[in-house]
Amino acid sequence: MKIAIIDYGMGNIHSVAKAVSLYGANPLITNKKSDIASCDKFILPGVGAFDDAMFELEDQGLVEAIKDQINQKKPFLGICLGMQLLLESSQEAKTKRGLGIFGGQVVKFSRKSGLKVPHMGWNELQVVQQDCPLLKGISNNSPQVYFCHSYYPLPADESMIAATCDYELKFASVLWRDNVYGVQFHPEKSQTTGLEIIKNFVYLC
């Protein structure tokens, strides 16, 4: 099985590729539309600013490539910023709109209550949808995952929230709709729980 790791210059691509390869998949790090089309599944990692990421995706002609493959029902996983880009807009963005795969906005944590921003480090995942294929085998017995972000997704349709996390407020940490999955944390850095999530993605039918 070939899984495209989309390289647009703003992702933790090698760690993601290594995690995918642990479960027998063949990761292909690429920014070529033809490569993405030839793969069975694809992953959009992301670290950095929303505007910069969308500029790179547009400049490299990857926006339509991503949308085309999603429309063909290929499994897609967005990680951290890669998940935020699935939404329509972000408070961080000054000029760019998101991919609009999911309705909703990306919003910033408030510092009003002394909250440290960015939210960085380990936190507990609370599974909302036990039937989410990405979360198979993940229980609510304190599974810890690694976060590094100042913004979080606020989807228009709360039914797509598959898991949450508490950081002074409860925010969506996993989104799911049909063949599209998004995680706000970094599964490739989240040890046992994160690798279980990567394995679930690799094994998706």
186 is catalytic: yes
Catalytic residue among 119, 149, 165, 188: 188
Contact 120, 78 (CB under 8 A): no
Which tokens belong to 159?
A: 């039914």
Q: Are 81 and 43 in contact (CB under 8 A)?
A: no
**Whether residue 64 lies in the annotated active site:** no
Tell me which residue has tokens 């998940």: 83
Task: Give the closest residue to 167 by CA, choosing from 126, 118, 119.
Answer: 119
Quick check: helix, strand or coil at residue 33?
A: helix
Annotated active-site residue in 80, 119, 149, 165:
80
21, 27, 136, 151, 160 from 128: Cα distances, Å: 28, 30, 12, 20, 10
Q: Where are the alpha helices (DSSP H) in the chain?
A: 13-21, 33-38, 50-59, 63-71, 81-84, 191-203
Per the annotation, the verdict on 80 as an active-site residue is yes
What is the length of the chain?
205
Residues with catalytic function: 80, 186, 188
